[in-house]
Amino acid sequence: MIQPLCPERVRKINGTFAFIEHRFLHEGFWSDLDRQTLLLYLFLVMVADRYGLSYYSYDKICTLLRMTLDEYIVARDCLIDKDLIAFDGRLFQVLSLPVEPRREPVKPLSGRDQMEREDPATIRQLIDRSFKKVPS
């Protein structure tokens, strides 16, 4: 048996308990989430009761996680879309993991307008060009 590095500091459960299944990492749920969404998910797991329920308000979550309201809404909606949480407007429930991650099919961008609205590299080029000085 492998011995702990710091036997005097072995974790113990005192009070509530939060867990994340190994499947979350090994079956691709983790890699499907961006940083803000992952942060919100981990937070909801940590604060949930034994049924996965928590009542934290959006303003408290945004303050604790240092998220803007827009970042919170995008992250929350992504977790709902991926069937990882349920939310009724005031109550969150972290759900058991679905059989497999819900992945959005990648659609190729078509046309210049869509590239200028949705492609990060094109958007960056447009921004860079807009800040370049025009010779007088």
pLDDT at residue number 105 = 62
pLDDT at residue number 133 = 60
The answer as to whether 24 is a domain residue is yes
The answer as to whether 104 is a domain residue is no
pLDDT at residue number 100 = 83
What's the number of domains the chain is made of? Answer: 1
The answer as to whether 43 is a domain residue is yes
Tens of pLDDT along 86-107?
Answer: 999 999 999 999 988 877 665 6
Asked if 67 contacts 75 with a C-beta cutoff of 8 angstroms, the reply is yes
SS3 of 66, please? Answer: coil
CA distances from 52 to 36, 87, 97, 131 (A): 20, 11, 12, 48
CATH code (residue 78): 1.10.10.10
Which residue in 35, 41, 33, 24 sits closest to 87, CA to CA?
41
Tens of pLDDT along 22-71?
Answer: 999 998 889 889 999 999 999 999 999 889 999 999 999 999 999 999 99
The answer as to whether 28 is a domain residue is yes
Expressed in percent and rounded to 5, the helix, strand and coil fractions of the chain are 45, 5, 50
The answer as to whether 69 is a domain residue is yes
The answer as to whether 20 is a domain residue is yes
Which residue in 109, 102, 124 sits closest to 29, CA to CA?
102
Q: Residue 135's pLDDT band (boundaries 50, 70, 90)?
A: low
Domain range spanning residue 79?
16-94
The answer as to whether 8 is a domain residue is no
Asked if 116 contacts 74 with a C-beta cutoff of 8 angstroms, the reply is no
